[in-house]
Structure 1
Amino acid sequence: MLPLDNKRWGELRHCYGPAADTPTLLRALDLPAGPDLSPDAEPWFSLWSSLCHQGDAYTASYAAVPHIVRIGLATTAPIDFSFYQLPASIEIARMTGRGPEIPADLEEAYHHAIASMTDCVSLHRHETWSRSMLLSAGAAQAVAKGHIDIAEALLNLDDDIIARINNFDFD
């Protein structure tokens, strides 16, 4: 895992250019905070905006995922659904050609973090989950097991699509 104080972050890229600001955002995730229902809550808003902008991933995205998963695994308090959804979305982007190759020095930690998302879901399984949390946790497990299409489908579900599926309304 790339240490947060490593100068390499400045060489990695996110949507807005060099990712030297990403470690500060990741450090903010380490502060105690539960689920936040506000879509513009920090640091999640900036992490999403820079690391998975409009469904695209970047080299900094791959370096950030191990830290996000590590924090989710270390936190015993309820966590935000973005601890699952952002890593799952980055892996979906990578596997569907919307991200660059993983740099060789980041590859092992990245793949280990993706596989560890099932452990994170298991750790937090007794918490009360919103619909967003349930779908994100399911997508995280699907990604960890290599089912990218199912993960993407789970993240695309909304109330209208769920109702149409339940009513067999496929027109």
Structure 2
Amino acid sequence: MPDAPFIPDELRQLVADPTNGERFTDLWPYLCSEGTAWPAAYAAVPHLVTIARGLPAAASERDDYLYVVGLVAICSGELGEAPAGIPDDIADAYRQALPEALTLLAETLATGEHDQISTRYLLAAVSALKGHLEFAEILNELDVYAECQSCGEPMLELPE
């Protein structure tokens, strides 16, 4: 894996060009991945919410920023709590950004056109920001689909 990017510089670049999906796709795994929200994620969340606020509700880039905010909440293990060692000002800014992210998610879901997969991820983010972290994890990991034998439509394949 390449060296981690300098998060403040990456966020400045995204503020300047929030539609740079490639830059954001390269950045967000350094914020939250493999079930862990890294310390930089808590400092980045308020900036991600600000960037999302500046994008149209129907923009797919907005979906991505808001999903990652929800993913940080999922990975944190407890809604609104930053891990020990995160400075109080960063933890406070993180907590204060979450309600706005939830509002933006609701607006995004009501306005944008989303396929089944992107809707699932956005609903996972909503669930996380509502404090339903276990449900959010289920939605986030829900990748098991089967094809209906009668009509050919995708459907959830439930375990036996």
The TM tier, using the shorter chain, reads 0.7 to 0.9
In the other structure, the counterpart of 2:100 is 116
Letter in 2 for 1:29: L
1:15-34 aligned at under 5 Å gives the runs 21-30=6-15, 31-33=17-19
- For 1:92, the equivalent position in structure 2 comes to 74
Q: In the alignment, what sits opposite 2:156?
A: 163
Matched, 1:136 2:121: yes
* Cα separation, 2, equivalents of 1:79 and 1:24: 23
Partner of 2:49: 69
Q: TM-score, normalised by structure 2?
A: 0.75
Aligned equivalent of 2:36: 56
Q: Is the 8 A contact 1:82 1:136 kept in 2?
A: no
How many Å apart are 1:33 and its aligned residue? 2.2
Structure 2 residue 88 is matched with structure 1 residue 107: no
Describe the superposition over 1:62-110 as per-residue Cα deviations: whole angstroms up to 9, x where unpaired.
00011111111121261333212211111111116xx833431211210
Partner of 2:152: none
AA aligned to 2:114 is: W
Deviation at 1:141?
1.5
**Secondary structure in 2 aligned to 1:83?**
helix
CA distance in 2, matches of 1:26, 1:63: 10
* Matched position secondary structure for 2:145: helix
* Closer/same/farther in 2, CA of residues 44 and 32 from structure 1, 3 Å limit: closer
User: In structure 2, do the counterparts of structure 1 residues 155 and 105 end up closer, same or farther at CA, with 3 Å as the change threshold?
Assistant: same
Shift of 1:159: 4.5
Contact 2:31 2:41 in 1 (8 A): yes
1:69–1:83 contact (8 Å) kept in structure 2 = yes
CA distance in 1, matches of 2:135, 2:99: 16
Task: Count residues in correspondence.
Answer: 143
Q: Distance in 1 between matches of 2:18 and 2:106?
A: 20
SS at the partner of 1:42?
helix
The one-letter amino acid paired with 1:112 is Q
